């Protein structure tokens, strides 16, 4: 018997040593330490690492030296604070969808910022609120713990700034659980730890890893009872779904008097009476009883019968719990009563109290979530894309809109990635956003063909592909939907993109007019050349000059007129200059619907008014697909302006001379076609 016990003890120690070395599936983060730094905790032998691989925002901080002296544990010496942004999120991975995990976050303020003002902030796990963080003292260490089923292949732990001080975090840990544990944990609800007690512990040291392979923390609780223990190994029965560690189960407590009850109460502080609690009580008989001895007891809750009679098994762990969650009371008292037949008092080895956390918000649709995460990774999107894309609604991702239906998880309906620095081909993951209605990929450096899978997005009604570097032709299904009024399709300013397969032949003969991706400054050069050529042809053929009075009436009747005040508003008081000429300056602006425009404001000297009138007349006469569209004008006293379509791409002269953006290089094929298109723009007849 003794040899068997020694063998079991050795086997347990060897198993524990393997766990310490491997720590399978553990994620252990000491928040705020330097990138690349890691160390082994003296107490648990768990290796902790920097949080730099799990979050991109925040600032590393150290607690005040006053509290460093009081806090001997290294984990609380540093923290990461988040003074910028409303939501900042850690991404914990890899995790396995459908598996159970324990996630624990720890906090100690320690007056790290020197203000001695205790913050209040929210902590979210995915789409659902985990905890509102409040701190009674600067030196108070607070741990929050939750057991949850993985809905995705990552966990997002997000800190939300409520305006009452910058959020911070000291430690973040993830531990995989056996899926047979805690059967009340499922995809619709989690368990928040209220407390986990080891009342018979002989000292004040918490029991955790490696004694508990799941790294649950069992705290000592000193009360009005008699502790006792056994050196034997306690058998853990997996079928009961709790697996309390042997070190915890090898100690127990009994009443001070053999005839007394064994009582404990909770909550022991102010708690919402609407909370639901599960209580798990762990029992194992530590004494080998004689044939005339019996330990038997019943359990009551607030004076009402709960369970029993119950007799613990010798050196075998058993767990009792309430069949349904407890709710509706401010305080609960559980009492263990010795039965009349019992010769020994009741005992208790350990107990846990958890509150139920219902998942009130369904996370974003799994397919949409996976797709948008893939898009984020593919293009390395630099926006504040953290946490659940759609939830909470107040913190949904920038440039993204979702549909919300209480019967279904949120789905992504709109995605605006315009001017996001995207490069490469269109990611196939975009084709998996099956509920998307609006997709804007304009003003990026996307290349390759426009993929056919975009045509399979049946809900898509708006697609903007302008100002990229796509090649080939637009899928015929997209063109057909556009022609039928089912899709608003924009694809201009793509040097190699055509609207049909027939244009491929024209490419070989350089006869395709190309939408030149340059600023309006370059187009104004073409206008000047056209004016010269037109006047030259007119004089040579004896044609008279334009009749200003006749043209004015046509011009003013057909086009939108803006006030000078509107022009100032559109240009933000003429903030951004994008070109200068001999008769005026060109400014960047926005119309009320967000459309970007180029506004040429004519000088009040050097005949600026006359040039305004001439250019306005030309805009009415000349129409060509290589020329920017005329959108309106301003003629208010001496203030004269033309509002034209804004086309990105930089200055044509700089592009041709390689003085512009280094990422844009025009080959000789492109240069020849640009020259031909400019020539066509100069020589085409008026209509």
**Under 8 Å between Cβ of 252 and 227:** yes
Report the pLDDT value the prediction gives residue 505, as an integer from 0 to 100.
Answer: 44
Compute the radius of gyration of the chain from its Cα atoms.
36
Return phi, psi of residue 204, to 5°.
-95, 15
Indicate the CATH number for domain 400-508.
Answer: 3.80.10.10
Residue 624 confidence class, pLDDT cut points 50, 70, 90: low
Nearest to 632 by CA among 532, 564, 576: 564
Question: What's phi and psi for 568, nearest 5 deg?
Answer: -60, -40
Closest CA to 369 of 397, 341, 329: 397
Average of pLDDT values for 327-342? Answer: 91
Inform me whether the pLDDT recorded for 270 exceeds 70. Answer: no
pLDDT tens profile 282-312? 999 999 999 999 999 999 999 999 998 999 9
pLDDT at residue 134, as a whole number: 95
**Residue 170's pLDDT band (cuts 50, 70, 90):** very high
The residue ranking higher by pLDDT, 456 or 525, is 456
Q: How confident is the model at residue 661 (pLDDT cuts 50, 70, 90)?
A: very low
Q: Are 645 and 517 in contact (CB under 8 A)?
A: no
Asked if 446 contacts 418 with a C-beta cutoff of 8 angstroms, the reply is no
Average pLDDT over residues 602-626: 64
Reference 566, options 638, 646, 633, 521; nearest CA is: 633
> Mean pLDDT throughout 489-510?
61
- pLDDT of residue 11 exceeding 50, the answer is no
Residue 640 has pLDDT above 80, yes or no: yes
User: Average pLDDT for residues 532-551, to the nearest whole number?
Assistant: 42
CB within 8 A of 215, min separation 6: which ones?
26, 44, 46, 102, 173, 175, 208, 209
Say yes or no to pLDDT of 681 above 80. no
Q: Please tell me the distance from the alpha carbon of residue 60 to that of residue 380, in angstroms, as a whole number.
A: 23
Residues 6+ apart with CB under 8 A from 569: none
pLDDT of res. 559: 64
Which of 267-271, 320-324, 625-629 is predicted least confidently? 267-271
| CB burial string 279-288: b at 16+ within 10 A, e below | bbbbbbbbee
**pLDDT of the residue at 424:** 93
- Please write the tens of the pLDDT for every residue from 433-478: 999 999 999 999 999 999 999 999 999 999 999 999 998 889 989 9
Residue 539 has pLDDT above 60, yes or no: no
Residue with the larger pLDDT of the pair 597 and 108: 108
Strands (E), 57-140: 59-62, 78-81, 87-92, 100-108, 120-125, 128-133
Res 650 pLDDT > 90: no
Residue 613 pLDDT exceeds 80? no
Range in 22-31, 182-191, 573-582, 616-625 the model is least confident about: 616-625
Closest CA to 78 of 102, 51, 90, 60: 60
CB count, 10 Å around CB of 52? 17
- Res 647: pLDDT: 76
Retrieve residue 379's tokens.
């293009």
> What's 360's DSSP letter?
-
| Beta strand 120-125 pairing with 128-133 | antiparallel
Dist CA 99 CA 97 (whole Å): 6
H or E stretch covering 335: strand 332-338
Helix axes 608-621, 520-540, angle to 10 degrees: 80
Give the per-residue pLDDT at 430: 95
Q: What is the pLDDT of residue 63?
A: 93
Residue 543 main-chain phi, psi, to 5 deg: -75, 145
Average pLDDT over residues 188-214: 91
Task: Give per-residue pLDDT as tens, 57-101.
Answer: 999 999 998 887 655 588 999 999 999 999 999 999 999 999 999
Distance CA 167, CA 268 (A): 27
For residue 627, is pLDDT > 80? no
Residue 193 CB contacts under 8 Å (≥ 6 apart), including other chains:
144, 145, 146, 147, 352, 353, 354
From the candidate CATH numbers 3.40.50.1000, 1.10.3720.10, 2.60.120.430, 3.10.25.10, the one assigned to the domain spanning 24-177: 2.60.120.430
Task: Provide DSSP, 450-463.
Answer: --GGGGG-TT--EE
Q: Are 571 and 588 in contact (CB under 8 A)?
A: yes
659: its two tokens: 């003085």
3-state secondary structure at position 110: coil
Q: pLDDT value at position 73?
A: 80
Other Cβ atoms less than 10 A from the Cβ of 196: the count is 23
Higher pLDDT, 135 or 595: 135
pTM: 0.67
* pLDDT at 237 (0 to 100): 62
Residue 626, pLDDT above cutoff 90: no
- Tell me the pLDDT tens digit for each residue of 358-385: 887 888 898 999 999 999 999 998 788 8
Q: What is the mean pLDDT of residues 238-248?
A: 81
Mean pLDDT of 210-232: 90
Sign of the Cα pseudo-torsion (87, 92, 93, 96, in order)? negative
Give the length of the chain: 687
CA–CA gap between residue 566 and residue 631 (Å, rounded): 14
Per-domain residue ranges of the chain: 24-177, 400-508, 520-683
**238 or 27: which leads in pLDDT:** 27
Question: Which tops the pLDDT comparison, 2 or 395?
Answer: 395
The answer, yes or no, to whether residue 517 has pLDDT greater than 60, is no
Instruction: Write out the H or E segment, with its range, that includes residue 531.
Output: helix 520-540
Q: How confident is the model at residue 508 (pLDDT cuts 50, 70, 90)?
A: very low
Task: Examine the pLDDT at 513 and tell me if it is beyond 60.
Answer: no
Question: For residue 584, what pLDDT band results from cuts at 50, 70 and 90?
Answer: confident
Determine the Cα–Cα distance for residues 269 and 363; give it in Å rounded to an integer: 32
Structure tokens at 558: 């057909």
Q: In what order do the strands lie in the sheet with 168-169?
A: 59-62, 78-81, 168-169
Q: How confident is the model at residue 280 (pLDDT cuts 50, 70, 90)?
A: very high
Tracing tokens 């791409």 back to the chain, one arrives at 649
Rounded distance between C-alpha atoms, residue 381 and residue 373, angstroms: 10
Nearest CA to 100 out of 149, 144, 65 is that of 149
Percent over 90 (pLDDT), the chain: 47
Q: Which CATH superfamily is domain 520-683 in?
A: Phosphorylase Kinase; domain 1 (3.30.200.20)
Mean pLDDT of 174-200: 93
Among residues 216, 225, 278, the alpha carbon closest in space to that of 248 is found at: 216
C-alpha–C-alpha distance, residues 403 and 410, integer Å: 5
């Amino acid at each position: 018997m003794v040899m068997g016990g020694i063998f079991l003890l050795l086997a347990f120690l060897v198993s524990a040593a393997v766990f310490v070395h491997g720590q399978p599936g553990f994620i252990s983060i000491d928040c705020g330490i330097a990138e690349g730094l890691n160390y082994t905790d003296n107490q648990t032998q768990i290796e902790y690492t920097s949080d730099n691989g799990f979050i991109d925002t925040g600032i590393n901080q150290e607690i005040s030296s006053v509290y460093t002296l009081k806090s001997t544990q290294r984990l609380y010496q540093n923290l990461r604070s988040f003074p910028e942004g409303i939501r900042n999120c850690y991404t914990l991975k890899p995790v396995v969808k459908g598996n159970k995990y324990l996630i624990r976050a720890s906090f100690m303020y320690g007056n790290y910022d020197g203000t001695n003002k205790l913050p209040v902030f929210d902590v979210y796990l995915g789409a659902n609120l985990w905890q509102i963080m409040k701190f009674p003292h600067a030196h108070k260490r607070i741990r929050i713990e939750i057991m949850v089923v993985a809905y995705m292949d990552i966990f997002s732990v997000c800190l939300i700034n409520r305006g009452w001080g910058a959020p911070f975090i000291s430690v973040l840990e993830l531990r995989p659980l056996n899926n047979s544990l805690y059967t009340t944990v499922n995809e619709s609800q989690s368990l928040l730890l209220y407390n986990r007690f080891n009342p018979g512990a002989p000292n004040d040291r918490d029991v955790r890893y490696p004694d508990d392979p799941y790294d649950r923390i069992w705290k000592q609780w000193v009360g009005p009872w008699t502790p006792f223990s056994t050196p034997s190994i306690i058998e853990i029965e997996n079928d009961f779904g709790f697996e309390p560690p042997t070190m915890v189960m090898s100690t127990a407590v009994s009443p001070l008097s053999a005839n007394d009850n064994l009582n404990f109460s909770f909550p022991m502080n102010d708690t919402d009476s609407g909370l639901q609690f599960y209580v798990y009580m762990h029992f194992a008989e530590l004494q080998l009883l004689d044939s005339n001895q019996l330990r038997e007891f019943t359990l009551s809750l607030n004076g009402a019968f709960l369970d029993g009679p119950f007799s613990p098994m010798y050196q075998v762990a058993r767990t009792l719990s309430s069949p349904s969650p407890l709710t509706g009371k401010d305080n609960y008292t559980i009492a263990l009563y010795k039965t009349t037949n019992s010769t020994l008092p009741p005992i208790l080895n350990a107990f846990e109290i958890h509150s139920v956390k219902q998942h009130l918000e369904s996370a974003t649709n799994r397919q949409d979530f996976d797709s948008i995460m893939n898009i984020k990774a593919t293009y390395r999107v630099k926006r504040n894309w953290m946490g659940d894309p759609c939830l909470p609604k107040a913190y949904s991702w920038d440039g993204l809109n979702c549909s919300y239906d209480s019967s279904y998880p949120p789905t992504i309906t709109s995605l605006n990635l315009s001017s996001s620095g995207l490069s490469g081909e269109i990611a196939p993951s975009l084709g998996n956003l099956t509920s998307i209605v609006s997709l804007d990929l304009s003003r990026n450096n996307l290349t390759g063909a426009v993929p056919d899978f975009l045509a399979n997005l049946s809900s898509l009604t708006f697609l903007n592909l302008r100002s990229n570097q796509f090649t080939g032709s637009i899928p015929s299904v997209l063109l057909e939907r556009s022609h039928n009024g089912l899709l608003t399709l924009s694809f201009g300013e793509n040097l190699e993109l055509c609207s049909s397969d027939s244009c491929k032949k024209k490419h070989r003969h350089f006869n395709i007019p190309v939408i030149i991706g340059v600023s309006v400054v370059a187009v104004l050069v073409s206008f000047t050349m056209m004016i010269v050529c037109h006047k030259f042809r007119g004089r040579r053929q004896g044609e008279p000059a334009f009749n200003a009075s006749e043209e004015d009436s046509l011009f003013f009747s057909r086009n939108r007129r803006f006030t000078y005040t509107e022009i100032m508003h559109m240009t933000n008081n003429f903030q951004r200059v994008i070109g200068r000429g001999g008769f005026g300056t060109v400014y960047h602006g926005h119309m009320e619907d967000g459309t970007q425009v180029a506004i040429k404001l004519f000088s009040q000297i050097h005949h600026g008014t006359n040039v305004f009138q001439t250019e306005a007349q030309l805009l009415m006469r000349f129409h060509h697909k290589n020329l920017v569209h005329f959108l309106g004008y301003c003629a208010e006293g001496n203030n004269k302006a033309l509002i034209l379509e804004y086309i990105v791409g930089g200055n044509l002269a700089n592009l041709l001379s390689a003085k512009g953006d280094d990422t844009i290089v025009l080959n000789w094929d492109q240069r020849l076609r640009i020259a031909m298109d400019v020539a066509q723009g100069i020589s085409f007849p008026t209509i």
